[in-house]
Amino acid sequence: MLKTVGNPSTRFGDQTIVNGNLVIGTSGKGIDFSATPGTGTSELLSDYEEGTWTPTVAPITGAYTTVSVAQGSYTKIGRQVALRFNFTVSDKGLGVGGFVISNLPFTGNGSSYSGSGFNSSTAAGTVLYGVNLTTQFEGYRYDGIDPVVINQSQVGTITYFV
């Protein structure tokens, strides 16, 4: 039994939505966790988004002639963004030394972040990092060898804050 006291928007007890969604109708509002213990600067969950994005892929040095596949997806929860990507270079041209991914779906806050990836042909590990990450990050293999192999997918994930 739902009990309402005073203001009709004030309710006690658990709330169940039988059919439909809970819609936050005002930008910047969300679920407030301030009643829980903690010393955080914000306890308001006001943003959740999933989507796709198209990464722009370039080598550290030179230029790729053809990037035949470049795709990605993301999940943004509050200020945290988790990116997933894959790309395939079918003609490296004069491109060498690792890769740079730009056209991120959200601008980073300028801190340093890392992630991981691998090449589908060798499963060789790729370290991803963004130093002062705002609009791009870089990928290198752990052993210093260029991670990009022609016609093989390069996949990875990186998490950063906006």
Give tens-digit pLDDT for 117-138. Answer: 887 776 667 888 887 889 999 9
Which CATH number is 131's domain given? 2.60.40
Dihedral sign for Cα atoms in the order 146, 152, 158, 162: positive
Residue count (the chain): 162
Domain annotation covers residue 77: yes
Edge-to-edge order in the sheet of strand 66-77: 48-53, 66-77, 80-91, 153-161, 113-119, 125-130, 136-141, 96-102, 56-61
Domain annotation covers residue 21: no
Residue 141 has a pLDDT of 81
The residue with greater pLDDT, 131 or 97, is 97
Identity of residue 93: G
pTM greater than 0.85 (yes/no)? no
Residue 66 has a pLDDT of 94
Q: Which domain holds residue 154?
A: 49-161
Mean pLDDT of 143-150: 84
Domain annotation covers residue 117: yes
Q: How many domains does the chain divide into?
A: 1
Domain annotation covers residue 5: no
Outline where 70-160 has alpha helix (H): none
| CA 46 to centroid of chain Cα atoms | 17
Domain annotation covers residue 127: yes
